[in-house]
Amino acid sequence: MTRHEKRLIRSATVRGYAEAASSVGLDPLEMLSRVGLSHNVLDEPDKMISFDTWLELLAQSAAVSGYQDFGMRAAIARGVPDYGQVTLLMREAETVEAAIQLYSSHLSLHADGTFIQLDKRFESPFIVMEVVGRTREQSIQGTQYCVVGVTIQIRWLTGEDFHPELVSFSHSKASSGTSIAPRFFGCPVSYNQVLSGMVIPRSILAKPLVTSQPFLRKLALQHLEPILRSPANSFATRVRFVVKQMLEDGRCSAEAIATHFGIDRRTLNRRLANEGENFSSVVQAVRLEITRAAIDRPNYSLAELADALGFQSLSAFSRWFQETYGCSASQWRKQSGSG
């Protein structure tokens, strides 16, 4: 088996999945287990999960339920997307066009493999959208999910019941069943097109946003833009550096980190939250970084790796690895040829 670069997203993306799965007769917990996702992803929005596993969950849910528009249903059930720092930045943009441009330019921070581009060359602008999965069905379901998500995002940003002029998908229309697409989008929906995305009225691009007060935008952008543009200078990055040291020493805790910076835990949580992070997400990011650097080193035992990551036992490390990567550490090493 060929091993691919790991693509990660926050588990906030899974929000609404259980509702969508149940509505089409699926057992959501059974489907999560089927693709190797822990059930707690439904309750831990900042947990990092495999983007490709999420796409496979959508693909399998569509195949098992027989609802080929499942990606749309899951996105509708999710509601307004949570893109972490990117959402905070978008909501402070002045217009819809500015928000879309911010989103597309910082998209890699949320979901690598998702492509969004605003094409203004024609009378009616077109937002091109594509999610690249490992299989055709993953790409289909992911793209459906993305197109619905952007529609909901524009409705949230403008405070209006926005409808595109036309929605197009590059995949074929399902041969059976009634799609919810026309009802949700409120416009014609075409299939077998060259590109997936939506045609929107040019006037919508200049719409002012209703998600924040104008006098707050300049201040918010002053704080948020540097976080996304220069992550090396962020407080979260400084915390990551200390977490890495403390994990290796076996003394990492939120209290210890707060003490290191001369603040209390509440202040630590608030400062991390201002950057779209929390203590758990920072620790997870550090563990992923250490794991990527060490997992393929044949002379580095799994017990040593578990110690470096701050786990008290090899079994605890094994559970974390399985939940995070969807396979055991031994399987990973065997696939990579380093085991």
CB within 8 Å of 119: residues ≥ 6 apart: 125, 126, 127, 128
pLDDT at 112: 61
pLDDT at 188: 95
The pLDDT of residue 84 is above 70: no
What domains can you pick out in the chain, each with its CATH number?
8-205 (3.90.1520), 230-331 (1.10.10.60)
Q: In this predicted model, which residue has the larger pLDDT, 339 or 206?
A: 206
For 139-178, b where at least 16 C-beta lie within 10 A, e where not — what string?
bbbbbbbbbbbbbbbbebbbeeebbbebbbbbbeeeeeee
DSSP-assigned beta bridge partners for residue 166: 199
* Per-range mean pLDDT, top range of 106-115, 136-145, 261-270, 301-310: 136-145
pTM exceeds 0.85, yes or no = no
The pLDDT of residue 106 is above 90: no
Q: pLDDT tens, 41-56?
A: 888 877 778 889 999 9
* Per-range mean pLDDT, top range of 52-56, 99-103, 168-172: 52-56
